[in-house]
C-alpha cells in the first residue's frame, strides 16, 4: 500500500468515525441537514432518532474495527 492510499484510507475512516459519533450524539442535526429544503419547522420522529443512533453505533464499531485492521496490516507489513 502506498503512502497516498494510506492517507486516503485514514481520512475516510476519520470521516466515518466522526459521522458515526454525530449519528449517535446529535441525530437531530442530521435530520435538519437532510430535510432543510423540504420541511419548515418540522421535527424528527422518535423512531428516526432511535434508528440513527443504532446505525451510528454499528458504523462506529465497523469503522474502529477496520481502523484496527489497517493498523495491524501496516505494523505486520
Domain boundaries, the chain: 3-76
Where is average pLDDT lowest: 4-13, 20-29, 41-50? Answer: 4-13
DSSP code per residue over 25-40: H-HHHHHHHHHTTT-S
Note whether 49 and 27 are within 8 A (CB). Answer: yes
Is pLDDT of 1 > 70?
no
Q: Is the alpha carbon torsion for 53, 56, 62, 66 positive or negative?
A: negative
What is the mean predicted confidence (pLDDT) over 41-61? 94
Q: Which residue has the cell 421535527?
A: 43
User: Of 17 and 7, which is predicted with more confidence?
Assistant: 17
Amino acid at each position: 500500500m502506498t503512502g497516498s492510499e494510506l492517507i486516503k484510507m485514514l481520512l475516510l475512516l476519520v470521516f466515518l468515525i466522526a459521522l458515526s459519533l454525530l449519528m449517535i450524539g446529535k441525530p437531530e442535526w442530521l435530520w435538519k441537514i437532510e430535510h432543510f429544503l423540504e420541511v419548515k419547522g418540522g421535527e424528527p420522529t422518535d423512531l428516526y432518532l432511535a434508528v440513527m443512533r443504532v446505525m451510528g453505533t454499528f458504523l462506529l464499531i465497523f469503522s474502529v474495527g477496520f481502523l484496527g485492521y489497517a493498523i495491524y496490516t501496516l505494523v505486520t507489513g
